[in-house]
Chain A
Amino acid sequence: MPITMQVEHNGKQVSGGVRMVVWILLTVVACIAHGTLGVVIPIATSEAGQGWTAQSGILSAIGLVCLLGVVALVAIFVRNRRVQSSFDVVSWFLTVYSVASLALLLLGALTPASIIGSAGIISAVSTRILALASIVVVVGMIGFFVAYMRARPTRRLRAYLITQASLFAVIGLGGLLSVSTEGGVVLVIMATITSSIMTVVNAPRLPWLPTLSLDKKLRLLWLAGCAAFASVLMIVVFFQDDTVLSVAATTLIGRLNLAVGAVYVIGLVAFVRLIVTVLVALPNSSIVDRRSFEIESLAALARLMAESASMEHILTRTTELAVRVTQAHGAWAEVGSGDELNIVATQHVHVDYVRSLHRNQLIRQVIAGASSPVVIDSLAEYGVDTRALAIRSMVIIPIAVDGARCATLVAFMTADFGFHPDDHRLLAAFGDILSIAIEQSRLHASVLEQERLQKEADVAREIQTSLLPRLHPRIEGIDLYGIMVPASEVGGDYFDYVRFADGSFGVVIADVAGKGIPAALYMATLKGAVLAEVREASGPADLLHRLSLTLSGQMDKRSYITMSCVQFQPSTSSLRYARAGHSPMIIKTSTGVDIVRPKGVAIGIVPPETFRTQIEEVELHLVDGDVCLLTTDGVTERRNESMQEMGIAAINALLLNTAAQSAKDIVGQVQRQLDHHAQGADAHDDVTIVAIRACSGSSLPQGQLE
């Protein structure tokens, strides 16, 4: 489809081009013929009044061919062309028309009168050039009108165009007839008057004119004035028979000057009509300008909002727009108050001046006290001594986000009653948009921050989870189970099953101070140290001491690790336990529940030598059914909505009353107890629970992993 269309299009263009070339050739040939004949058979124009002669008839006929050639050229050019009605097009046409007409006048004025009408080649050529130029200008003008009117092809308009074309034909005919009879002149005048009236009545409505800005209207007025002036000059020149241009035109065709003059009369009427239209539309220009700028500025602010620029940038642009729209003498935007007052943006006023204004108690009160947009027509009315002040009236727009004032926009004038009610309304709209923009940029920032935190938390949790044991060892005489439930923000809990130098099994449980990725990385370091040191360690206290040595100097001053360590001694069915500042072990025996709390300091708060003197190791003998519970502070400090911690008593009570037969069940029960206490409140710390239950009955091969 597109190809066929293009072919058609090309075909049309080709035929149009061929026709144009034919007409150009015809015009040039006719012109040359006319010139040659004119020289061979000179005709004195002054003899025109004597009536038609054979020579003048021939020459006029050939001249008519020239005229038709130009008309046809313009017609081809205008064909299929609809000129959009707009300021740019109209002003372009007025400019071209004025310049062309004045250039033609200049050409006519510069050509010596003696050359025109006399015999000789030079005379013949220059006369024809002038005549053709006149025709081109006039026909071009008509052509533009036609193209312009065709933009809105209504039936009425078509009728108008046909009538106008007929009237132009009558004018031309009248021009020709007037060579022999005075009736021709009358015909020209009648047709011109009719055509002028029709032009006035049917003048295009120019819907775009009222919405033009003031300076564009003035430019249009000026151009129309120029065109009208050029028309007047042309009319004067062409209606006189003895001017150079008139003579040149009549040389081509008898009394052509009358027809040309008539067309200029109609043009003049159209231009005057345009001037009147523009003049009528002038008074509302300032309102139109203002409205259009208001819309532009609101749109600009909305765009700014979409860009989610920084608050400073938004406020700077807003003050710029405020000054331009309201014609205020200056404006500024401020954030905060009192000592923390920050003048973010100023227009036509220095920051220091604004600060000095704020030193004035009354002005400060007025600005701070504005809870909604306020216009102050006269600062003097507020008791402000304005003798030393340049500022007399101001508009204060407080900008609030979530009900809290976050910025203030102030525009001022150096005269009382400087602001129009519209200014107030518009600046208030600015304020509304600003508050949305600021809120949006804040939301945007907080969303980004949240995403970042979430990502960090995910990474930390991944590290933490990867550090935990995946398998639970089966140890003879011991039922062992442990879990770690990470908080949304990783709390640094860690537990692991280890094997000491003598081959015995053990458990370590630790809590690294801090949260997030730093805590997770300390955990990784800790795990590495534990795996390395436990191979050499003889028991829990030794392991903890070795760790404090290894980690000494590796940790941030703020950071420390609490840790508990248990070693199982299946041969004596006992366990050894040491504690480095960690939550104490809870033990349930047949006689009740007890808390085992050997001395010990957290790793990283004292030098290793001090650590060694403080650490204590205890040995506990277990019988079947005894339960040891190791936890982190996330368990005892688990809070509910009313911020109450669960405490150790609840765990004690649970252990005392439990009938659980396995370590896993006990861990499960503690977890349920935690959930029961928390009642859905978020966990602020990781929760780690390791239960150890003595059970010599279920003997399993030592050291086998489940």
Chain B
Amino acid sequence: MLRFITTTRTARVNTFTITHTHHDRAEIVHLHGYLDAHTASQFERDLRVIIEQGDAHVIVDFEHLDYISSAGLGVFMVFIEDIRKQGGDILLAAMRDNVFSVFDLLGFQVLFRIFPTVDEAMAALSNNA
């Protein structure tokens, strides 16, 4: 089963796209492009829709994300509390080095589990279950 929500926002030259696929255990959200102050609100809206409609578990695939700003990071913090209260979680996976260093510097590893690949994130979910 596959569903797509696609939004493209053109902020000067940077574009940001979000697609998502539904799997047995989790919604996998794929991010593409630049996630900055101009695209963060759109990202938040889309992520809210995905979380409200889908599974309790969300895996965010950062493989194709080129850049993330502080506004983009803030979006993850909006949902984490509620989703954990419902027994779910947000797992982050497949970050590029530059994106990972931003998360790392801020100490986001204390708040989120970050995995090298989406598969490892899926495996972690299976083990938990």
A residues neighboring B (CB under 8 Å): 511, 513-515, 556-560, 562, 580-584, 599-602, 605-606, 610, 614, 643
What 7 A-B pairs have minimum CB-CB distances, sorted nearest first? A601-B107, A558-B74, A513-B70, A581-B106, A602-B106, A557-B78, A581-B107
Contacts of B110 in A (CB 8 A): 601, 605-606, 610, 614
CB distance from A549 to the nearest CB of B (A): 17
Complexed CA–CA distance, A189 and B41 (Å): 98
Closest to A511 in B: B70
Q: B111 an interface residue at 8 Å Cβ cutoff?
A: yes
| CB contact under 8 A between A515 and B105, given known A558-B77, A614-B110 | no
CB-defined A-B contacts under 8 Å, sample of 23: A513-B74, A514-B70, A515-B37, A515-B71, A558-B44, A558-B74, A559-B74, A560-B70, A560-B73, A560-B77, A562-B105, A581-B105, A581-B106, A582-B105, A584-B105, A599-B107, A600-B107, A601-B111, A605-B77, A605-B106, A605-B107, A605-B108, A606-B107
List the A side residues contacting B106 at CB < 8 Å: 560, 562, 581, 601-602, 605
Residue of B nearest to A639 (CB): B67
Majority DSSP secondary structure for residues of B touching A: helix
Q: How far is the CB of B84 from chain A (nearest CB, A)?
A: 13
Interface centre among B73, B77, B81, B107 (most CB of A within 10 A): B107
Chain B 68-86 per-residue mask, 1 if CB under 8 angstroms from chain A, else 0: 0011011101100100000
Identify the B interface with A (CB < 8 A).
13, 37, 44, 70-71, 73-75, 77-78, 81, 105-108, 110-111
* Chain A residue nearest to B81 in the complex (CB): A557
Which chain B positions have C-beta within 8 A of A581?
A: 105-107
Query: Residue among A580, A582, A601 with the most chain B CB within 10 A?
Result: A601
Chain B residues in 8 Å Cβ range of A605: 77, 106-108, 110-111
CA distance A360 to B42 in the complex (A): 35
Contacts of B78 in A (CB 8 A): 557-558
Knowing A557-B78, A557-B81, A560-B77, the reply to whether A513 touches B71 (Cβ < 8 A) is yes
Chain B residues with Cβ below 8 Å from A606 are: 107, 110-111
Name which residue of chain B comes closest to A599, CB basis: B107
CA distance A513 to B75 in the complex (A): 11
- Minimum C-beta distance from A523 to chain B (A): 14
Given contacts A557-B78, A557-B81, contact A513 B73 (CB under 8 A): yes
Considering the chains assembled together, what is the distance between the CA atoms of A614 and B107 in angstroms?
A: 9
* CA A515 to CA B72, docked complex, whole Å: 12
Contacts of B111 in A (CB 8 A): 601, 605-606
Query: Nearest CB to that of A491 among chain B residues?
Result: B70
In Å, the complex CA distance between A560 and B69 comes to 12
Whether the Cβ atoms of A560 and B74 lie closer than 8 Å is yes
